[in-house]
């Protein structure tokens, strides 16, 4: 018996706006939406994929995790204890990707990192949830 990483749940005030923002960031696809949650698959779904069809057991563990946005009444108050790390491929322009995120509404955050000693940039989404853009990678 195995467990699968199924979702990362993000508390937010405007679940629809946050889900759409992250879908833009991660070229994702919204696969479920109601007033209590919005689910988004980063990278989107393969052509012909049926989100309502059962997934065979042999494929279950290879499915990507979703981001699920759920409503909370309060705004963010302290630094996240869990955050998402993003990375560009070495063939991509990391600085251009950071600028794209800023243009989409991200903000640069000082989480105590020393920019002279770290290889990542800390940003926050439109509701203030921190995430990092790591150095470019190829594995």
65 & 15 share domain: yes
Q: How many Cα atoms occupy the beta-carbon half-sphere of 120 within 13 Å?
A: 17
13 & 61 share domain: yes
Q: Which of 45, 71, 97 is the last residue of a domain?
A: 71
Residues 6+ apart with CB under 8 A from 110: 122
Q: What is the CATH number of the domain that holds 35?
A: 3.30.720
What's the pTM value of the predicted model, to 2 decimals?
0.89
Phi, psi (deg, nearest 5) at residue 134 = -80, 175
Q: Which of 21, 41, 71 is the last residue of a domain?
A: 71
Tell me what pLDDT residue 70 has: 97
52 & 104 share domain: no
Q: Which residue range(s) make up the domain with 118?
A: 84-133
**Residue 138 covered by a domain:** no
Whether residue 100 has pLDDT greater than 90: yes
**Residue 13 covered by a domain:** yes
61-82 confidence digits (pLDDT tens): 888 899 999 999 988 888 888 8
Tell me what pLDDT residue 115 has: 77
Angle in degrees, 0-180, between the axes of helices 94-104 and 15-25, rounded to the nearest 10: 160
Q: Are 23 and 40 in contact (CB under 8 A)?
A: yes
Mean pLDDT on 38-43? 96
Overall number of domains in the chain: 2
DSSP code, position 112: S
Phi, psi (deg, nearest 5) at residue 84 = -95, 135
**Which pLDDT band holds residue 83 (cuts at 50, 70, 90)?**
very high
Q: Alpha-carbon distance 20 to 138, whole Å?
A: 27
**Which pLDDT band holds residue 1 (cuts at 50, 70, 90)?**
low
Share of the chain above pLDDT 70, in %: 99
**Residue 56 covered by a domain:** yes
User: Which of 116, 123, 120 has its CA nearest to residue 100?
Assistant: 123
Mean pLDDT on 92-119? 92
């Amino acid at each position: 018996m195995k467990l699968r990483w199924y979702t990362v749940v993000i508390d937010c005030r405007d679940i629809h706006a946050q889900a759409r923002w992250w879908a833009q960031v991660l070229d994702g696809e919204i696969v479920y939406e109601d007033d209590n949650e919005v689910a988004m698959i980063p990278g989107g779904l393969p052509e012909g994929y049926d989100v309502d069809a059962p997934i065979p057991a042999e494929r279950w563990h290879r499915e990507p995790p979703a981001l699920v946005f759920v409503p909370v009444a309060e705004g963010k108050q302290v630094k996240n204890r869990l955050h998402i790390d993003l990375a560009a491929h070495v063939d991509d322009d990391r600085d251009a990707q950071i600028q794209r995120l800023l243009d989409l509404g991200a903000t640069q955050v000082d989480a105590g990192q020393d920019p002279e000693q770290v290889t990542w940039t800390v940003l926050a989404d439109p509701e203030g949830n921190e995430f990092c853009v790591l150095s470019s990678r190829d594995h």
